[in-house]
Amino acid sequence: MPEKINRGGISVDTEHIFPIIKKWLYSEKDIFLREIVSNATDAITKLKRLSSLGAYNETDDKYLITVSLDESEGTLTVTDNGIGMSEDELKKYICSIALSGAVDFIQKYESETDSSASSGIIGHFGLGFYSAFMVSSKVEIETKSYTDAPAVHWTCNEAGDYEISAGSRSERGTSIVMHISEEESEYLKASKIREMLNKYCAFMPVDIFFEEIGNESDSERKPINDTTPLWQKQPSECSKDEYIEFYHKVFNDMRDPLFYIHINADYPLNFKGILYFPRIANEYETLEGEIKLYYNQVFVADNIKEVIPEYLLMLKGVLDCPELPLNVSRSYLQTNTYVSKLSAHIVKKVADKLNSLALNDREEYAEIWKDIAPFIEYASIRDKKFYERVKQSILFELSDGSVLTSDEYLKTAPEENAKKVYYTTDKALQAQYISMLEAKNIKVVLFERAIDVQFASFAESCSDGIRFLRVDSNIDETLKGASDKIENEKLSNVFSSAIDKSVTLEFSSLADPAVPALLSVDEDIRRMEEMMRMYGIAQPTPPEKKLIVNLDSPLIQKLDSLCESDFDSASELAEYIYKLALLSQKKFTAEEMQNFMKSSYNILMKL
């Protein structure tokens, strides 16, 4: 009697969609292997669950998935020893597109289990299976149910016509045989399959083996995946070396990260992950991080920016989010409430990590601060809530090389300088001002990046009266001596002829008698000028500057005497003193430097 064969066509709810599946099911064809291996993982997960419920007597067999490449036969096969299918189940789950066997399974057993156990089911047996036709001219299924129902063989061509017949498989489980089409021959290369497995299946929860039929060079058979990735463990179970090794492996960055954050959230959010703050080699290196998104250890996508706030995009990491769909879209991520809550939780964890380092490991924290400072300052400016969380852990690097928080800085300040923070934007150029402040036991903060001054303005707006002042700004009694302002007509005449019209004159005494004069500029006006320059806005007038002439200086006293006997020489000397003051505040242009050198030679010639 001839073997009974059932024939039919794939049933769909709308029009025949096989051509669409073949071309447009996924944006990347490589994903088909993830889908097929995910289905194999599901099959094993279901069987494990049935065993735990007493519905199946588990054997001593080791659960595994094998991916076999046979280039000579033109096939790629994925085999598992999981739950398998009967003929009725195969018709139900395979012959009707987009019906997920995982849905039926979870609905059937959810009353007997908690949600955490069910969450291991990846759940795309249906439409995901048909991704195989993106690269195949024919697909075969050889399956046998764990119930010991007869084995079944199913074969389907790229037009959607299938046949079901008795199968030859003797052990439970399923084999998916994909006959790779001629135009997709790249999927018959072992290097390509290894690349795909490493990308999509590197952390799946079942051992996956890859074999190349006809190539027995690899005598030691090892799984290609890590079934217990670091993020699935408790932080207490992981060592620092393991975190760093994981970072090197996943992100191909041989530099050690600055720090890492292990997240293990269960309520109200359910996700796990590890985030790393990478080491930036220099300011010109790209600052774009990389977030790899997983779904129950199955790779979904990389470079997912939507789950991280824009101001923390330099982070690298992995996030395993079982509450997101496996085939998540960027539009979904941008509008999903869960994603926004996840993002907020990540911000909190970053802040908590910074506070923990600052409190418990200040020495290590101080070492990495210079690398992370611009990012933390930028994040603070963009998110005031983040700033409020980390403000006690924000450090200021001082001109002497030490670091202090704002509170620590203010505690060291003399009483008359309470709530004033002095900073320098150029330690070498502004050395004279720094020296005078340090002589008064006033510490000076280094602000060497453009964002530092922007952060200072932001911090002022959030604080109770704290004022940031550049060392050459608003020179007051801090750098002045005991005497008040004094009028000196002779010196006023000689300096007025030497200085720019935008500079005003003031005669006083300075704390250091060796300094003949200092230039002072209004802090607010200068900041406004810098901001306008940064945004390319024309500055109508230069900021007002004040030349404070030190009447206690021996050089000024000598100049005072010279005014009556040799006004021209006095004017030349006054101009030179002004240029010296100017040089301690800004870098000269080529023309200004040339004129300064010429003046220096002329004065030296008169000695």
269-313 confidence digits (pLDDT tens):
889 999 999 988 665 556 678 899 998 898 988 877 788 898 998
297/231 Cα distance (integer angstroms): 10
- Rounded to 10 degrees, what is the CA torsion of 146, 97, 66, 122? -80
Number of H helices, E strands in the chain: 19, 21
Q: Of residues 587 and 243, which shows the higher confidence score?
A: 243
Counting residues of the chain whose pLDDT is more than 70, the rounded percentage is 84
Do 472 and 425 form a contact (C-beta atoms < 8 A)? no
Architecture per CATH, domain 489-605, reads as Up-down Bundle (1.20)
pLDDT value of residue 336:
75
CATH number of 6-212: 3.30.565.10
Q: Of residues 580 and 217, which shows the higher confidence score?
A: 580
What Rg, from alpha-carbon coordinates, does the chain have?
Answer: 36
pLDDT higher than 80, residue 124: no
Beta strands 208-212 and 517-521: pairing type? unpaired
Tens digit of pLDDT for each residue in 19-65? 666 665 566 889 899 999 999 999 999 999 898 888 888 776 789 99
Arithmetic mean of pLDDT, 231-258: 94
Arithmetic mean of pLDDT, 359-383: 93
pLDDT value of residue 283:
58
pLDDT value of residue 4:
64
Q: Of residues 224 and 607, which shows the higher confidence score?
A: 224
Arithmetic mean of pLDDT, 466-491: 79
User: What's the token pair of residue 96?
Assistant: 């009707």
10 Å Cβ neighbour count for 115?
A: 10
Confidence of residue 122 (pLDDT cuts 50, 70, 90): very low
The residues of the chain that CATH labels 3.30.565.10 are 6-212
Lowest mean pLDDT among 197-201, 302-306, 454-458, 483-487: 483-487
Lowest mean pLDDT among 68-72, 77-81, 91-95: 91-95
Tens digit of pLDDT for each residue in 377-410? 999 999 999 999 999 999 999 999 999 999 999 9
Q: Residue 299: what residue type?
A: F
pLDDT higher than 90, residue 455: yes
User: What's the token pair of residue 75?
Assistant: 């096939």
Q: Is residue 441 helix, strand or coil?
A: coil
DSSP state of 167: -
What pTM value is reported for the model? 0.82
86/519 Cα distance (integer angstroms): 90
- Give strand pairing partners of 518: 548
Longest dimension (CA), the chain: 134
The residues of the chain that CATH labels 1.20.120.790 are 489-605
Q: 457, 437, 456, 460: which is closest to 447 by C-alpha?
A: 456
Please state, in angstroms and as integers, the Cα–Cα distance from residue 176 to each residue in 75, 141, 191, following that order.
Answer: 10, 5, 20
153/140 Cα distance (integer angstroms): 7
User: What's the token pair of residue 178?
Assistant: 């994909």
Residue with tokens 């703050």: 277
- Give strand pairing partners of 473: 521
- Phi, psi (5° rounding) for residue 336? -80, 135
H helix intervals, 168-239: 190-200
Q: Of residues 4 and 375, which shows the higher confidence score?
A: 375
Confidence of residue 116 (pLDDT cuts 50, 70, 90): very low
Do 179 and 138 form a contact (C-beta atoms < 8 A)? yes
70/588 Cα distance (integer angstroms): 72
The residues of the chain that CATH labels 3.40.50.11260 are 394-470
- Rounded to 10 degrees, what is the CA torsion of 194, 197, 202, 203? -150
pLDDT higher than 60, residue 240: yes
Q: Is residue 449 helix, strand or coil?
A: coil
- Domain 394-470 falls under CATH 3.40.50.11260: yes
pLDDT value of residue 76:
98
Q: Residue 319: what residue type?
A: L
pLDDT value of residue 481:
65
The residues of the chain that CATH labels 3.30.230.80 are 230-365
Architecture per CATH, domain 230-365, reads as 2-Layer Sandwich (3.30)
Arithmetic mean of pLDDT, 427-447: 91
Lowest mean pLDDT among 177-181, 244-248, 359-363, 600-604: 600-604
> Crossing angle of helices 590-605/567-583, nearest 10°?
140
pLDDT value of residue 207:
96
Arithmetic mean of pLDDT, 496-522: 87
Q: Is residue 425 helix, strand or coil?
A: coil
Do 167 and 152 form a contact (C-beta atoms < 8 A)? yes
Confidence of residue 112 (pLDDT cuts 50, 70, 90): very low
Arithmetic mean of pLDDT, 558-564: 89
Please provide the distance, in angstroms rounded to a whole number, between the alpha carbons at the two ends of the chain.
126
pLDDT value of residue 2:
54
